[in-house]
Amino acid sequence: MNLSGPLCKKKENMVSGLEVKSEKQRFVSPEYIIPFILVTSLFFLWGFAHGCLDVLNKHFQELLNMSKAKSALVQFVFYGGYFIMAIPAGLLMQRFGYKRGIIFGLSLFCAGAFLMLPATVIQTFGSFLLCLFIIACGLTCLETAANPYTTVLGPAVHAERRINFSQSFNGLGWIAGPLIGGMLIFGDNGDENRFSSIALPYLLIGTIVFIVALLFWRASLPEIKEETHSAGASDKSNDLSWRNLFRHPHFVLAVTAQFFYVAAQTGINSFFINYVTEEMPAITNQEASKILAFGGMGLFWLGRLTGSTIFMRLARPNRILALYAFINVITMCLVVAGLGWISVTALFTTYFFMSIMFPTIFALGIKDLGPLTKKGSSILVMSIVGGALIPVLMGRIADVSKMAMGFIVPLICFAFILYFGIDGYKVRGSKLNGR
């Protein structure tokens, strides 16, 4: 009786099973380590650009003697650029791939940053807004490419962890933005041109972006194709039309949740310095920007790092999202109450619990979209337009009442994200399939 055949077959199956298990345990596939490092660097760069906005908002209020609502045009133009450029960026990725899309985005980023120098000579609010708009268009391309790219550079089971890990470097950029921007913009550089300090952080980051663009141009970045068919999906569900994209209920709710998240985050960032200086009049603008950098953004970075390395290994991403959203509903209630240091502490504590929201919503939103992933990514990036609209609303509320009352808006936003984390994230199948 020959047992070698069945025994050998069983052994081969065991080895094969171990190999599959080992591959699933890999955080990043070995052949994608270098691309993953390069793409992760992009998260820092656009985090820095976003962080500088919050300093500019307060600076323009004082430099041009404008209301909070008008200064919020900084966010309106910046995030409006995301809205306008999102679909073109998605089409660009679809046509030319991730690498060319990233290089194009870096080029726009670099151009907008260097144009800040002539804007300080023109000395009009509109000239600075134009520069920010160009930067935003570049960042749209970067985010449209980088966010989904990280999710496919390894086993699908770790997609949420990978994007949260990369986004932790975005958190470092958010720290560096208000810290360096606050020192350079609010600092006295001895120049008679009051506007000249605005260009300094952008000339710095523009130079770095130029170097990174050269690295990407020289690097070999694999073009990864998303799975054409997801489990149980019909051929019709894989139709590449934009219309079919919105037949996925979890995706539609993810877009809405992302709109509210960016709205909440941008609103909080925009008026953080205003809130702190109103609640604690002894604190200066530069001191408030340091609290934003180390207190708020420091916790933001810590939250993303721990979220990707610890908490996402212990619980499902949607459950962490729901828990964090619930806590932020509570912190926003304390902020609206205006309780001095208690409310200020609650405000920068909010950053820790906001940290994992964007990447987690993003990853949950594009799940099982198959060939629609690139288009879905562009729509999710387009939802960043929430950051253009809500700060203006918060500014108007603050102008007629007080700054604390404006934070009712982020409170409502976090309530919707709580719902998404509890139920809205579930993949129920395409409405086209009637499932």
Q: What is the pLDDT of residue 19?
A: 44
Give the pLDDT band (50/70/90) at residue 289.
confident
Q: What is the pLDDT of residue 81?
A: 87
**3-class DSSP state of 239:** coil
Q: What is the pLDDT of residue 383?
A: 86
Query: Of 376, 427, 20, 24, which is closest to residue 233 (Cα–Cα)?
Result: 427
Least confident of 197-201, 225-229, 290-294: 225-229
8 Å CB contact between 324 and 315: no
Residues 428 and 97: their CA atoms lie apart, in Å, by 29
8 Å CB contact between 115 and 406: no
Instruction: Write the pLDDT tens digit of every residue in 315-339.
Output: 888 899 999 999 999 999 999 998 8
What is the overall mean pLDDT for the chain? 80
Q: What is the pLDDT of residue 6?
A: 53
Q: What is the mean pLDDT of residues 364-385?
A: 81
Please state, as a whole number, how many other Cβ atoms lie within 10 Å of the Cβ of residue 304.
30
Q: What is the mean pLDDT of residues 64-74?
A: 80
Q: 13: Cβ–Cβ under 8 A, 6 or more apart, which residues?
A: none
Instruction: Write the pLDDT tens digit of every residue in 145-167.
Output: 887 788 777 777 777 778 778 87
Q: What is the pLDDT of residue 22?
A: 47
Structure tokens that stand for 359 in this block: 């990447």
8 Å CB contact between 359 and 160: yes
φ and ψ of 178, to 5 deg: -70, -25
21 has pLDDT over 80: no
Q: What is the pLDDT of residue 234?
A: 42
The residue ranking higher by pLDDT, 226 or 300, is: 300
Query: Of 162, 138, 95, 155, which is closest to residue 374 (Cα–Cα)?
Result: 95
- Measured at the CA of 155, the angle between CA 217 and CA 220, to 5 degrees, comes to 15
Second CATH level (architecture) for the domain 32-223+243-430:
Up-down Bundle (1.20)
8 Å CB contact between 385 and 259: yes
Query: Of 61, 85, 17, 68, which is closest to residue 385 (Cα–Cα)?
Result: 85
Full-prediction pTM beyond 0.75? no
Q: What is the mean pLDDT of residues 168-173?
A: 79
Q: What residue type is assigned to position 285 of the chain?
A: N
Give the pLDDT band (50/70/90) at residue 242.
low
Structure tokens that stand for 131 in this block: 């520069």
Residues 222 and 34: their CA atoms lie apart, in Å, by 10
- Measured at the CA of 388, the angle between CA 384 and CA 392, to 5 degrees, comes to 145
Give the pLDDT band (50/70/90) at residue 187.
low
Q: What is the mean pLDDT of residues 234-257?
A: 73
Query: Of 145, 160, 217, which is closest to residue 27 (Cα–Cα)?
Result: 160
Please state, as a whole number, how many other Cβ atoms lie within 10 Å of the Cβ of residue 287.
16
- In angstroms, the Cα distances linking 13 to 16, 119, 314 are 5, 66, 30
Q: What is the pLDDT of residue 191?
A: 54
8 Å CB contact between 276 and 288: yes
The residue ranking higher by pLDDT, 227 or 117, is: 117
How large a percentage of the chain has pLDDT more than 90? 24
Give the pLDDT band (50/70/90) at residue 408.
very high
Residues 319 and 310: their CA atoms lie apart, in Å, by 14
Query: Of 380, 349, 420, 417, which is closest to residue 163 (Cα–Cα)?
Result: 380
Structure tokens that stand for 215 in this block: 């690295």
Residues 60 and 37: their CA atoms lie apart, in Å, by 36
Residue 159 burial by CB count (10 A; 0-12/13-18/19+): exposed, middle or buried? buried
